Amino acid sequence: LSRLFKLGRLESEADLLKIALPLLDGLEHMHDTGFIHRDIKPPNIYVRLDGSPVLLDFGSARFAIGGQTKTLTSLVSPGFAPYEQYNTETGKQGPWTDIYGLGATLYAGINRGRGPMDAIVRGHARIEGKTDPMEPAVEIGKGRYSEAFLRAIDAALGFTPGERPQTVAEWKNQFPTAEKTQPSTRTKPRSQADIPTVVDEERQTPTMARKQGTTKWLLVGLIVAGIAVGIYFLQPWKSATTSAPEQQTTEAEQQQIVQEAVRRALEAEAQRKQQEEQARLVREAEAKKDQEEQERLAAQKAKEQARLEQERARAAKAEADRHKQQRIEDLLTEADKALAASRLSSPAGNNAMEYLQSVLKLDADNLRARQGIGRVQSRYLELAESAGKQGEWSKAEFYINKADAIEPGAEAVFVAKEKLARQQAEAEKERIKLAELERNRIEEEKKRIEEAKRRAEQKAILERKLPIALVNYGETKKGSVDFVSGKLKFVFKLSLTQLDIDDDIDLVTSVVDKSFFSDKEYVEKSVTLCQSNPISMIFGIIFDHWRGGPTGDFIVTGFDCTTKQYTKNKYTVVYDRSGSKWGPSWKKAITSFISDTDIFNKTRKTYKGN
């Protein structure tokens, strides 16, 4: 029992009563026969497999016969032995001594295996006038056990014998059970004939069988233990109340009574064992037969149940498959509609990808769904290609990423990315080329505008200056400045009689000094002049007016139009005066003029010659 307490197997009030009440029945009968156990504690109580308790170790028991008394041992178990057991005056011991031990055992049951305070410690406290140091059961078990049960335990643990119930019957009435046993009316121990014999427990009522069986085997244990250790006939605990005639029983008669009781107990024990064995065999055979029949029926029932379950499962599976296939068909139909409407992956809840992925959740190997996903990917790649042709690169990349998310690393997606990259590179080149052309066009247009502006300014200045330059030549002097075919043209006429070489040079140099013709090609009557060559302009004008304006092609050489530098003494005038008598003299006159004229310093020397 102590081990069960430690394991927490017996903690409820009902469990403890199942142990206590049978032991009380046995102790009551044992006390009636004159025995007291004197060492009741958890280690001395054995609980059988059927839950019934057996009281062991009668080494400290006392048997009262005649006028002499001796105890089998004088051992004391601290905490479970009352104060009187520590006293050599055995006459103070009786049923109340065993009641204390069983009460202490129940105290340990409600206190997780820990027994009450040792009686010696309690006694010292009393001697010193202090309060009893033992915590009452009503405090320890408060809230977990009934108050009546706890008060019964505290009653059994009264310090002095007078504070405890005097008999087992009296104590039993304090327990909270519907079957309270009335105090015994017997006034003397039962004789040998009163010792119960072995009976068929199955024929007794459960209550009577439990009570008689428990009492019987407690008595048998007591007697056998007495034989094992040697029985000494001592003064009974009831000696204080035994009448004088009863005390005259001889020792021989007492010994004979005990021997007869032992014999009958051994015979009863043997008979009990035989009957128990026979009953056990019958029970086992019947139990085996019942178990086999139950197993057969259970197997048959399980088999039938399994068959029914299989049929229901097949029917349920067929119905589920039908619903599943119908659901797949509906999803594929919706996916086709979404593809046709270009709802590839949006809006949420109504697009082709969601429908197709739902199909794959129902059927991972569905071919139509996988083909549909491939079509969605192809559609995205087509949209990407179309966007790329339009130069919508962000949109094209968006569509390619959508296709890549459907099947990452697909070859078609890789090819589309490469193609888009090439298109972007080519478009960038074309953009750069067009931008360069546009810049060039803008620059040319800017130059054209600036040139037109400069020409207009030159023309305006020339037109404004020329009349002023020619005003000294009279009313017949006329001149104009104009652009003909993109070339500046300077035209004026002078009367032959009014022409003076020096004046002409003054006129021309005054115009040239202003650089009105800088960087321009001067054209006058088929005379081709080098750009930015003032000499050409001077001689062109001179030949145009000298001697009535001879005609011909004149080119003044010796001027580098690129560097705009002159080479002195290397000016040559080439002209053609077909049929003219003046031809040879022209060359002489012009060469002489160039030699005598310092164009670089803008100074003029007097012309000498014809």
d(CA 332, CA 153): 81
pLDDT of 75 above 80: no
What is the mean pLDDT of the segment spanning 487-499? 39
For residue 149, the model assigns a pLDDT of: 95
CA torsion, points 576, 580, 584, 590, in degrees to nearest 10?
-60
Is 453 within the bounds of a domain? Answer: no
For residue 600, the model assigns a pLDDT of: 35
pLDDT band at 48 (very low <50, low <70, confident <90, very high): confident
pLDDT band at 252 (very low <50, low <70, confident <90, very high): low
Tell me the H-state helices in 159-250. Answer: 168-172, 206-229, 244-247
For residue 309, the model assigns a pLDDT of: 92
What is the mean pLDDT of the segment spanning 27-46? 89
Residue 594, CB half-sphere, CA atoms under 13 Å: how many?
Answer: 23
Is 204 within the bounds of a domain? Answer: yes
Query: What is the phi-psi region of residue 602: left when phi exceeds 0, alpha when psi lies from -120 to 50, beta otherwise?
Result: left
- Residue at a domain's end among 201, 220, 249: 249
What is the mean pLDDT of the segment spanning 474-503? 41
AA identity, residue 216: K
For residue 502, the model assigns a pLDDT of: 39
Is 22 within the bounds of a domain? Answer: yes
The CATH number of residue 26's host domain is: 1.10.510.10
For residue 551, the model assigns a pLDDT of: 40
Q: How far, rounded to the nearest angstrom, does the alpha carbon of residue 413 sit from its chain's CA centroid? A: 33
Structure tokens at 323: 């619903």
Is 437 within the bounds of a domain? Answer: no
CB–CB of 126/132 below 8 Å?
A: yes
Structure tokens at 185: 């009316």
Condensed to tens digits (0 to 9), the pLDDT of residues 225-242 reads 443 333 333 334 444 444
Highest-pLDDT range among 68-82, 205-219, 310-324: 310-324
For residue 56, the model assigns a pLDDT of: 83
For residue 212, the model assigns a pLDDT of: 44
402 vs 476, which has greater pLDDT? 402
The fraction of the chain above a pLDDT of 70, given in percent, is 57
pLDDT of 437 above 80: yes
Is 24 within the bounds of a domain? Answer: yes
Condensed to tens digits (0 to 9), the pLDDT of residues 253-274 reads 655 655 665 567 677 778 778 8
Condensed to tens digits (0 to 9), the pLDDT of residues 173-197 reads 999 864 443 333 333 333 333 333 3
Buried residues in 237-268 as b, exposed as e (16+ CB within 10 A): bbbeebeeeeeeeeeeeeeeebeebbeebeeb
For residue 148, the model assigns a pLDDT of: 95
For residue 433, the model assigns a pLDDT of: 92
pLDDT of 411 above 70: yes
For residue 292, the model assigns a pLDDT of: 93
The fraction of the chain above a pLDDT of 90, given in percent, is 32
Is 134 within the bounds of a domain? Answer: yes
Average pLDDT across the chain, whole number: 70
Q: Which residues pair with 36 in a beta bridge?
A: 62
Whole-prediction pTM: 0.36
* SS3 of residue 234 by DSSP: strand
Look up residue 249 and give its DSSP letter.
Answer: -
Report cis status (omega within 30 of 0) of the bond before 550: no
pLDDT of 602 above 50: no
pLDDT of 513 above 70: no
* SS3 of residue 503 by DSSP: helix
For residue 495, the model assigns a pLDDT of: 34
The H or E element containing residue 492 is strand 487-493
- Residue at a domain's end among 193, 228, 249: 249
For residue 270, the model assigns a pLDDT of: 80
Look up residue 351 and give its DSSP letter.
Answer: S
What is the crossing angle of helices 13-32 and 147-156, to 10°?
40
Highest-pLDDT range among 149-158, 178-187, 429-438: 149-158
Q: Structurally, how many domains does the chain consist of?
A: 2
Cα end-to-end span (Å), the chain: 167
224 vs 381, which has greater pLDDT? 381
AA identity, residue 577: R
Is 296 within the bounds of a domain? Answer: no
pLDDT of 287 above 80: yes
- Residue at a domain's end among 188, 218, 249: 249
Domain that holds residue 556: 474-596
Cβ within 8 Å of residue 574, ≥6 positions away: 553, 554, 555, 557
CB–CB of 109/17 below 8 Å?
A: no
For residue 265, the model assigns a pLDDT of: 62
pLDDT of 526 above 70: no
Is 464 within the bounds of a domain? Answer: no
